[in-house]
Amino acid sequence: MLIAGNWKMNTAAGEARDLARAVASSVRDMETVDVAVCPPFVHLVEVSAELRGSHVRLGAQNMHSANAGAFTGEVSARMLKSVGCHYVIIGHSERRQYFGETDIGVNVKVRQALDHGLLPIVCVGELLEERQAGREKEVVSEQVRGALAGMDAIQPGSLVVAYEPVWAIGTGETATPATAQDMHRFVRSLLREVQGADSALILYGGSMKPGNARALLQQPDIDGGLIGGASLRADTFAAIVAAAAEEA
């Protein structure tokens, strides 16, 4: 199980330090679950320091596809690795929606992350209109295949996929456990086809909260959660980690 917190564009410096310290303390006895927090870029170094000595790992919310160069305002995989990042989120629905990220761009970033020893959390998921049109599996299939196109089999434990039903992010809506399990099972079958092995964790990323975490995490193909709003409080985040520990 992996529970990863995506803090998005939230927290000032002191708030980030306090939250990281509180998370590390709150989950210290839950070592059967892999835990990560992904703060904004500007807080990575300070959060890394707060996590030192705990089993909580550091992640970033995005990265550029190039190793270095004249890309003002961007951050490379090499930079992330140098400040202690273990994970990097790639292709989040908000990056696709607001910044025009494409499956081709996600593919290049995944390659770059793997080349630098980062563990990519690759996000896939459908919009409400795509689900209403019955195209949800077609959309997710295109995203998974695009993200991993042309790659040799990725080493076990070196890839995470997060299924985000976009219609459930920040809306208070959540896929039912049965709906989420159906898509997770489909993603797992795609990974077997594309990669030739079942070597990735598959997280649910659609408004997982303490109240619904256990029902979701009990599903056989749901291996954890990518947590947004509920990761901004140590107590709610720790409650989700505790639910995962019960199922681990």
Residue 58: name the closest of 66, 68, 46 by CA.
46
From CA 129, how far away is CA 133, in angstroms rounded? 6
Measure the CA–CA gap between 168 and 239, rounded to whole angstroms.
Answer: 20
Three-state secondary-structure class, residue 153: coil
Strand stretches in 31-102, DSSP E: 34-38, 56-60, 85-90
Active site residues: 92, 164
- Residue type for position 82: S
| φ, ψ dihedrals at 36, nearest 5° | -140, 150
